[in-house]
Amino acid sequence: MSQFKKTPYYVLIITFIFGVIGVFLNQSVFADYEDLSREQLDKFLRVVSLVKYYYVEDVKWETAVQGAISGMLSELDPHSVYIEPRKVERNKEDFSGKYEGIGIEFDVIDGYITVISPIAGSPADQLGLRSGDRIIKIDGKSAIGISREEVPKKLKGAKGTQVNVTILREGMGEPFDLTITRDVIPIYTVTTKFMTDDSTGYVWVNRFAATTSSEVEEAIQELLKNGMTRLVMDMRGNPGGYLHEAVKLTGMFIPGHQLIVETRGRNSRVEEKFYADQWNGGGKSYDFPLVVMIDRGSASASEIVSGAIQDYDRGVVIGTNSFGKGLVQKEFPLQDGSAVRVTTARYYTPSGRLIQRDYKDKDVREYYSEVMDTSWTSEDSLKNRPQYHTKAGRIVYGGGGIRPDIIIAYNSYSRSPKMMNRIFQKRGFFEFAKSYATRHPEIPTNLGDYQKNFEIQPDVVDEFKNYCLENDIEISDEDFEKDLDYIAARIKSEIARHFWEKDGFYYTWLHHDNQFLEALNSFDEANRIAMLNQDN
């Protein structure tokens, strides 16, 4: 009785009301979710109670609940996940296609914020920041020794605000100051675009965000003006993103009211069909020869694009088997700013193929590590996968990603990855090439001539080796000899970056890429496949 006297009367009333509401809510919950038994919920709450009263230390309930949610979702499939509030905001930025700041790609090298590349058209670009510039002060305070995570906090900010930076540039005796007015900075999903020769265009799409289809359209228009009559579209390493952007992009190459992808789920409300003319309202699509590049890192939306191109015999798909992610996630916000991403449906290509590979009875680690195992994509494994047919009758396979028309493994990698990792950690190629280019301003003529005619001589490779030793980058003669071709190609590409920014780097580096070179030789097969439907 004394306890009641200590408790305010209105609190007891509120408690009673909420108790009654809780009874009805519980009845509603169990009516809606018959497979979720009271026994299971009671079990969970019992564990919470035991931890609350008996656990040896104070419990961080926020972390504990996050762990419980993550654990539950991980039991469903590999792609249903819990997202912390800070990651929700980062994801919004990554896929919105823009942020506000000064506009640089950067890294922290030996304690210095180092400009890798200014973003075209950004405030940093307009003020003349260059690859290799070091930011040593921000708003008058030293930035030397800053962590990579702290840099965006200092340089990003609302449009119209200003930040003062002090720049140290190689070849200039004294640092100089710049006042940069922040602006909206686009986050490009087209990594690079260029003409590889007089008729062949190249576009690399790194993910599918809100601006992807318009970026690709803009790139294609620019390449057409430069004489493009055929295109290589590179989606290697593209993890996916927005479904509607994948449909829009595919609609650029597939005419009319033709199915691009279908989603099917347990709930009919998530089932939907997406058609090519959702991109252009039934207008003209591009009909030039097309080669699409994919690999094990190509997932989800990039598999939708390559799958539809293959199903309609629109072009040739080249590379290695894609990841095999055909599950549709919908993101649901939670009250604390976090979110859960729950799988609601599966993707199916126009021929009826399920893109998703098997994940049943596999933990998350096994599921992801399987991508590196070639057995599930071998010829022998195809016996256990369902067959489908393209529009022209070619056999394609379901249940395991997109299998390319031309399979070619990537072999232009380093033969001594541990040594290369040590070099990359200190941006050895970037720093050496910056210094070399500064000392040899006579190198460039134009990018095409540079790629064809400029060779990295053995004495330059030796100079790079000495640079590594002088900068405490651990290398061995044996590993260095294994990678002479790779090292020379990387130096050449980084020098190109100095003179022609990122497009120069990628143009030069891709000419060392065996899959890319094979793609350039695959247009006869692309034309042959495209003609199959005309013959039927």
**Higher model confidence: residue 185 or residue 201?**
201
pLDDT given at position 187: 77
User: Is residue 522 very low, low, confident or very high in pLDDT (cuts 50, 70, 90)?
Assistant: very high
Give the pLDDT mean for 468-489.
95
**Domain boundaries, given as residue ranges, for the chain:** 98-186, 190-411+523-535, 417-512
* CATH code, residues 190-411+523-535: 3.90.226.10
Spatial separation of the C-alpha atoms in residues 371 and 498, rounded to whole Å: 35
Spatial separation of the C-alpha atoms in residues 139 and 164, rounded to whole Å: 5
- Alpha helices (runs of H) in 33-174, residue ranges in sequence order: 38-54, 61-74, 85-96, 123-126, 151-155
Is 35 a residue whose pLDDT tops 80?
A: no
Is 236 a residue whose pLDDT tops 70?
A: yes
pLDDT given at position 330: 81
Tell me which residue of 316, 385, 319 sits closest to 355, measured CA to CA: 385
Spatial separation of the C-alpha atoms in residues 305 and 106, rounded to whole Å: 31
Is 66 a residue whose pLDDT tops 90?
A: no
- SS3 for 357? coil
Give the pLDDT mean for 7-30.
40
> Above pLDDT 90, what percent of the chain?
43
Judge whether 311 counts as a catalytic residue: yes
pLDDT given at position 17: 37
Give the pLDDT mean for 199-216.
93
pLDDT given at position 239: 86
Look up the CATH architecture of domain 98-186: Roll (2.30)
Which pLDDT tens digit goes with each residue over 15-24? 333 343 344 3
Give the pLDDT mean for 100-115.
84
- Alpha helices (runs of H) in 341-456, residue ranges in sequence order: 364-369, 417-425, 428-439, 447-453
Tokens of 79: 């792609």
Give the pLDDT mean for 239-248.
90
pLDDT given at position 90: 65
pLDDT given at position 5: 38
Q: Which of 133, 311, 313, 405 is catalytic?
A: 311
Judge whether 391 counts as a catalytic residue: no
Is 475 a residue whose pLDDT tops 60?
A: yes
Q: Which of 117, 300, 414, 522 is catalytic?
A: 300
Which pLDDT tens digit goes with each residue over 382-418? 888 899 999 999 999 988 899 999 999 999 988 998 8
The 8 Å CB, 24+ separation contacts for 393-399 are 393/532, 393/536, 394/313, 394/529, 394/532, 396/310, 396/311, 396/351, 396/353, 397/353, 398/352, 398/353, 398/354, 398/355, 399/353, 399/354, 399/356, 399/357, 399/358
pLDDT given at position 152: 85
Give the pLDDT mean for 432-459.
91
Q: Mean pLDDT for the chain?
A: 84
pLDDT given at position 18: 38
Is 490 a residue whose pLDDT tops 90?
A: yes
pLDDT given at position 467: 96
Residue 354 DSSP symbol: B
Q: Which of 154, 193, 325, 492 is catalytic?
A: 325
Is 30 a residue whose pLDDT tops 50?
A: no
User: Cβ of 513: how many Cβ atoms within 10 Å?
Assistant: 19
Backbone dihedral region of 319: left (phi > 0), alpha (psi from -120 to 50 degrees) or beta? Answer: left
Which pLDDT tens digit goes with each residue over 342-359? 888 889 999 999 998 887
Most confident of 144-153, 220-229, 394-403: 220-229
pLDDT given at position 249: 95
Judge whether 378 counts as a catalytic residue: no
User: Cβ of 419: how many Cβ atoms within 10 Å?
Assistant: 21
Cβ-based burial of 283 (10 A; exposed 0-12, middle 13-18, buried ≥19): exposed
Is 12 a residue whose pLDDT tops 50?
A: no
Q: What residue ranges in 225-382 does DSSP mark as E strands?
A: 230-234, 259-264, 272-275, 290-294, 316-319, 327-333, 339-348
Spatial separation of the C-alpha atoms in residues 249 and 217, rounded to whole Å: 8
pLDDT given at position 461: 97
**19-23, 168-172, 313-317 — which is least confidently predicted?**
19-23
Tokens of 95: 């896929």
Instruction: Write b or e for each residue in 245-270: b if 16 or more Cβ atoms lie within 10 A of its Cβ, otherwise e.
Output: bbbbbbbbbbbeebbbbbbebeeeee
Which pLDDT tens digit goes with each residue over 294-307? 998 899 999 999 99
User: Which helix (DSSP H) or strand (DSSP E) does residue 156 occupy?
Assistant: none
Q: C-alpha 1: how far from its chain's center?
A: 64
Spatial separation of the C-alpha atoms in residues 392 and 529, rounded to whole Å: 8
**Strand-strand pairing, 290-294 and 395-397:** unpaired
Cβ-based burial of 276 (10 A; exposed 0-12, middle 13-18, buried ≥19): buried
